[in-house]
């Protein structure tokens, strides 16, 4: 199943993202790696939410739709937090200033890591219920 493979990739991405959160992010290279890990786990999370919705008969036309549908399906419970995650991901991908990084990195460490972990647990739980 495609979603199982996505979940495996998401677990690996989570471990990487979480490990980078313990690095000294005062230097440019670790900071850049942490941001890239964030972008990667966000993309995998968005695709996993979309695929779960599709399995349940709910199609998503955009990442925002995936978030709303994941909320409806009970995979996530904090829509404002996920919209903040999405906004920060768009900022990292389309902004070339670093002025925003300190606050964003703090949100990643204090809120986003735990939220990605909750999504992983929810997907794992739901997939285990689906298996015969």
Q: Which pTM does this prediction carry?
A: 0.90
Per-domain residue ranges for the chain?
2-130
> How far separated are the first and last CA of the chain, in Å rounded?
13
Q: What is the pLDDT of residues 10-67, one digit of tens each?
A: 999 999 999 988 877 777 778 888 999 999 999 999 999 999 999 999 999 999 999 9
- 48 and 123 Cβ atoms separated by less than 8 Å: yes
Domain 2-130 falls under CATH 1.20.120.330: yes
DSSP secondary structure string for all residues of 15-55? HHHHHHTTS-TTSHHHHHHHHHHHHHHHHHHHHHHHHHHHH
């Amino acid at each position: 199943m495609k979603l199982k493979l996505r979940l495996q990739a998401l677990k690996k991405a989570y471990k990487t993202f979480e490990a980078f959160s313990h690095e000294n992010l005062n230097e440019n290279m670790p900071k850049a790696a942490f941001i890239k890990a964030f972008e990667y786990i966000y993309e995998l999370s968005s695709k996993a939410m979309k695929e779960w919705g599709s399995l349940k008969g709910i199609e998503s036309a955009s990442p925002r739709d995936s978030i709303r549908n994941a909320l409806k399906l009970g995979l996530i419970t904090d829509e404002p937090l996920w919209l903040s995650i999405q906004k920060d991901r768009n900022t990292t991908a389309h902004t070339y200033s670093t002025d925003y990084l300190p606050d964003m990195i703090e949100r990643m460490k204090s809120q986003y890591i735990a939220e990605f972990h909750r999504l992983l647990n929810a997907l794992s739980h739901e997939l285990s219920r689906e298996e015969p």
